[in-house]
Structure 1
Amino acid sequence: MSRPILYEYWRSSAAFRVRIALHLKGVDYESRQIDLREGAQNSAGYRAINPFGLVPMLEIDGHRLTQSLAIINYLDLRYPSRPLIPAVAAERAHVVSMSLSIACDIHPLNNMRVLKYLKNELGHSQEEVDSWYRHWISEGLPAVEVQARALSGAFMFGDGPTVADICLVPQLYNARRFDVRLDDYPTLLRAEENANKLDAFAAAHPDRQEVPA
C-alpha cells in the first residue's frame, strides 16, 4: 500500500489540523508543500488534481480528500482505535459544533486569500487587515470558551483530545501571531496547554515543518 501524501502549506491552519490527526492516528505520510505565498495552489498541475486549489489535500487509499474536517472524519473511521469524534450522538454534536465554530466561523474570514484580497484588491492598509484579523478571532472565541466549559476536562471535551482540540490549537497559534489577547479563555488555554504536551501536536507544529525556500 502506498504511503499517504499530504499536500499542504507549513503555516496553513487547515493543514496543521490534518497533520495533528495523522500523528494522533500514527499514520506515516509524505508531505508535499504547496507554497501559497507564490501561488502554487493555482498552478495547472495542482489544479488538475485538486480543482479547488486549496490545501490540505490528502491522497490516501486511492482517494484524494479535501477539506480538513472531512479528512479528519475519514481518518477517524479508517483508524478507529483512538477516536477523535465521540460516538454518542449528543456528545458527537457538541464536539463537532465546537470544531465547526472555529473551522467555519472564525478561520475562513482570516485565511490568506481573504487577507490578500482585503489588502491588494480592496486597498486596505496592513494595519486595517491586522485589525480585521483580530476582530474575527475576538468575536468567535468567547462563545467557544462558553461552549467548551460545559463538558471540558483536561481538553475541550473530557480528558482526551478530540477534533475540537485539533481545530483549537492552530487557531490559538494564529491568534498569538496577531497579538490577540487570550486571558479571557481559561478553558481553551488549559486544553491547548494539555494538547501541546502530546507528541502528535508538537510534531505537527508549523515550526517543525519544512518551509519552502
Structure 2
Amino acid sequence: MDYELFWISGSPYAWRVQLAFEYKGVPYASHRLDSAKRENRSPAFLALNPRGKVPVLRTGDAALYESVAIIAFLDRSHPAVPLFGQAAQEHGRIWQRVSEFENYTRDLFDVEIVRPLLRGHAKDDPEAMRASAARAYDALGWMEQALSVAPYLAGDDITAADIVALPNIQMLRRAAARPEAIEMALGLEDLGARLPALGAWLSRMEKMRGYDAAYPPHWRSCSRAGSAPAT
C-alpha cells in the first residue's frame, strides 16, 4: 500500500504520525507544507482535509486525518510492530493512556502556555502564565507516577501512548526555553529536574528508533544557527 503524508514542520500532531511511521519502519512519500505560504489552506489540500490541518494521510483515493486515527489505522495495517498492543487488556490500557493525555494534559500545555508564548502574548499576564506552569506540573503528575513503575506510559514497551505524548511535551519544553519564559521563571524548560521519571522517559524516547528521522527539520536548522524559535 502506498502512503502520502502531508505535514508541517513543528506540528506536534504531524510529528506523532511521522514517529509512528519511522518506528514501524513503514515507508511513505513525504509532502511538507509551508504554513507561511498557506499551503495548508490551498484548494487542493482542503479537498483532503476541509479543516485545513495536518497531518493528512492519503492512501490511493482515500484521505485520513486526525493524528491518533492515522496511528490507529497504521497499526491495524502494519501490526508487526504493535503500538496499540495485542491482548484486549493491553489494548484498553494503551487507549486509556492516550485518552488521559489528550483529555487532561495536552490542552493545558497548548492553550495556556505554548500558544501565548508563540503568539507573543505571554508577558501580558505573567502571573497567569506562572499559574498555568504550576498546573502543568500537576497535569503531568499521572505520567510521573506511571513512569515511576514502568519505563513507558503503558508498560515495558513503546506504544501509541508514548508517541502521542512526546511531541507535545517536546513542544512545551521548547516554548518554555524562550527568553520571555525564562524571564517569567516558568520553570518548564527542564522538566526532569522536578519530574525525574519523566526526564528519564524523555531521554529514552529521544533514543527510540526513528526519532532523528522524524525530528522537525526547521528545529534542527534553527538550533545549528544558534536560534530556537518554538514554532
Shift in alpha-carbon separation, 1:127–1:160, aligned structure 2, 3 A = same
Scaled by the length of structure 1, what TM-score is found? 0.79
Is 2:140 aligned against 1:141? yes
Computing the radius of gyration from Cα coordinates, the structure with the larger value is 2
Shift in alpha-carbon separation, 1:196–1:127, aligned structure 2, 3 A = same
User: Does the aligned pair in 1 maintain the 2:143–2:153 contact within 8 Å?
Assistant: no
**In structure 1, which of residues 171, 176, 179 is the aligned counterpart of residue 173 of structure 2?**
176
How far, CA to CA, are the matches of 1:46 and 1:26 in structure 2?
A: 26
Shift in alpha-carbon separation, 1:69–1:135, aligned structure 2, 3 A = farther
Shift in alpha-carbon separation, 1:209–1:94, aligned structure 2, 3 A = same
User: Does the aligned pair in 2 maintain the 1:137–1:175 contact within 8 Å?
Assistant: no
Equivalent position of 1:197 in the other structure: 207
Bigger Cα displacement from structure 2, 13-22 vs 83-92: 83-92
**In structure 2, which of residues 159, 164, 181 is the aligned counterpart of residue 162 of structure 1?**
159
User: Which amino acid is the alignment partner of residue 34 of structure 2?
Assistant: D
User: Which amino acid is the alignment partner of residue 169 of structure 2?
Assistant: L
User: Does the aligned pair in 2 maintain the 1:110–1:136 contact within 8 Å?
Assistant: no
Q: Deviations over 1:84-114 (max 9, x none)?
A: 11233333222222222333443345559x9
Q: Could you tell me the percent identity over the aligned residues?
A: 26
How far, CA to CA, are the matches of 1:5 and 1:147 in structure 2?
A: 35
Equivalent position of 1:40 in the other structure: 39
How far, CA to CA, are the matches of 1:85 and 1:6 in structure 2?
A: 21
User: Which amino acid is the alignment partner of residue 30 of structure 2?
Assistant: S
Structure 2: which 5+ runs fail to align?
Answer: 178-187, 222-231
> The residue matched to 2:82 in structure 1 has which SS?
coil
Q: Pairwise CA RMSD of aligned residues?
A: 3.2
How far, CA to CA, are the matches of 1:185 and 1:9 in structure 2?
A: 30
Scaled by the length of structure 2, what TM-score is found? 0.73
> The residue matched to 1:191 in structure 2 has which SS?
helix
